[in-house]
A and B are shown apart, each in its own frame.
Chain A
């Protein structure tokens, strides 16, 4: 089976210094894959490489078997990307933001579909016509997640998707991710939330200083052991 996402000996330089060093992993279709790591570990860099925003100094990245460097447009067509801090337009309301980004993606969603997506992320109807400058961070995150859902792409790249959400919303979000994966969509999320990653991910990769230093996989019907991942995460030496 062709992996949904594949990084092969990926090395990325940012500002002349290696942000990723020979990272290799695959994400299978329908899998929730989490990349864990501290600040500066190279998590967001990995996502940007899959979108073709950063070119590998060595190695390669592939989306559904296609080299991203050769065809970044294909990668962006197949991927919905949720950036950190849910970057959206503050002067627009939720509907206007979603309309705009969907139109740019070449999609035209009817209001009912948008409402359904916003219902799914539990954004209160009364808030939907307010400008995002009045939103909390969590509310913005919900709009960004709704956009990722509405894109209906087979692959989702999520950068710290639960950042800013309250525990109830995190729980709902994790459930949503599982539903999406069960429906066949592939999720690659980067986070430093060990507990959240273990709750939702089928596999976890641990990044430290741009290198993949640990891999964890859930046994069938079970969750990944949070204690083991946490221990590896905080360990000074590679796991």
Chain B
């Protein structure tokens, strides 16, 4: 057995003989396991609930009776953002962003909370989840275990006899790092269980492994930080105080400062963006009013195209055509505004990410949400996919309106019950609604989203390893 392994074994022996540290290890192990089980149960339940709600919404849409297709445009439809498998480990925005979107004609609605329990994570520190526990709590355990690694030897006078046996300072540091590193990896076992469960639920094994690698890297950052300050500072009280300050600054203060800073970046928000859009929407024309001057050119073009004098003589229902064109113009404007808003949100997110270079916890959190598929990019993708579905079924209904209904009936239906009856189309048309299922982004896309923050974390690893190497080379009794 090498000197480093003997030192590591001696360190474990010391921890296991200390009632306080033994208790701390047991409490943390139980706590992490409990959080993992609760989180897995919660996300599995949420996932099943939202999938069931999605099916119920689709069934309700298809079950609508024969009616005017534009009534179905306004009847609308719900889509639900089912959490990805790795949300069990890091729910990310799942708890704080809406999970359901109501899709209807002429509007892009904001996401809302589907059920009260879905919003339980909002407020205070929210529902504890494994990612948060690993980012915040496990470093505290590593500090408790490792802060005295060198100071204890120095204070007890055992550093001199240790080094006098021919042990090199680098071997001593390696032994302490192995001991602390193994403790950190043991704490990752509940997380590994969740990752395995996520893989069983369909998650990419590569992404799940990368997620574990990310957290192993984060905990190694803390192992190195604990040992670096332990090697630099003479007394264990100094080491403990310094480490707690670093923990407070990098896991609590800096991420919140970063969030506050990012919030100052210009971002109009959904409601402000909607208000700014109003003028553009007015110019696009009212799709309910075929006589709106905005559609004069369209009318002239159609009449000329079909060589007729009146819209009544067109082979298509002019009101349906107007609804189709209006929806197209309006959607282009709404999408442009939505992309503008999402770009602003991405800019805010980038400002937050800049702080990752100052906080390994922030870097880990950003990369973790990206890998889990619970980051802002996932929310934007959900909004885009939902919008694509909305546009698709609304335009499908508008096509039915244009092609299946006679213009003459359409304009008389509010005063003529027979005309109204004839404008009802067969309910089988509602089957044009495509089934919606929100799937996680491709592994390559998630890896790409996590790359920059992972590089920041790797930079921390390298810097701390170099710092420890220098500090340990100067280690003296």
Contact = CB atoms under 8 A, between A and B. Distances in A.
B167 interface: yes
B157 A105 contact: no
Contact of B10 (A87, A100, A147): A100
Interface string A123-163: 00000000000000000000010010001000000000000
A81 B189 CA distance: 43
Contacts of B3: 103-104
Interface in A42-90: 48, 51, 53-54, 73, 76-77, 79-81, 83-85, 87-90
Interface in B108-165: 156-158, 160-165
B7 interface: yes
Contacts of B341: none
Contact of B156 (A80, A81, A87): A87
Nearest to B159: A87
A101 B17 CA distance: 19
B166 A73 contact: yes
B156 A105 contact: no
Contact of A87 (B17, B160, B167): B160
Given A48-B477, A54-B476, A91-B17, A101 B165 contact: yes
Given A53-B476, A76-B166, A83 B161 contact: yes
B10 A51 contact: no
B477 A88 contact: no
Contacts of A100: 6, 10
A100 B165 CA distance: 10
A104 B168 contact: no
B1 interface: yes
Interface residues of B, number: 23
Nearest to A131: B17
A105 B476 contact: no
A186 to B, nearest CB: 16
Interface residues of A, number: 28
A76 B157 contact: no
A106 interface: yes
B1 A103 contact: yes
Contacts of A76: 163-166
B14 interface: yes
Contact of B164 (A51, A88, A89, A106): A51
B161 A81 contact: yes
B257 to A, nearest CB: 39
Given A53-B477, A100-B6, A87 B166 contact: no
A76 B167 CA distance: 9
Nearest to B158: A87
Contact of A73 (B7, B17, B168): B168
Contact of B157 (A79, A83, A92, A101): A83
Nearest to B3: A104
A106 B161 contact: no
A104 B157 contact: no
Contacts of B168: 73
Contacts of A104: 3, 6-7, 162, 165-167
B161 A101 contact: yes
Given A54-B476, A91-B17, A83 B163 contact: no
A105 B160 contact: no
Nearest to B171: A104
Contact of A77 (B14, B161, B166): B166
Interface of B: 1, 3, 6-7, 10, 13-14, 17-18, 156-158, 160-168, 476-477
9 contacts: A53-B160, A76-B165, A83-B157, A85-B157, A87-B160, A88-B161, A89-B158, A104-B165, A105-B165
Give me the 4 closest cross-chain CB pairs, A-B, nearest first: A87-B157, A81-B164, A105-B165, A104-B165
Interface of A: 48, 51, 53-54, 73, 76-77, 79-81, 83-85, 87-92, 100-101, 103-106, 144, 147, 151
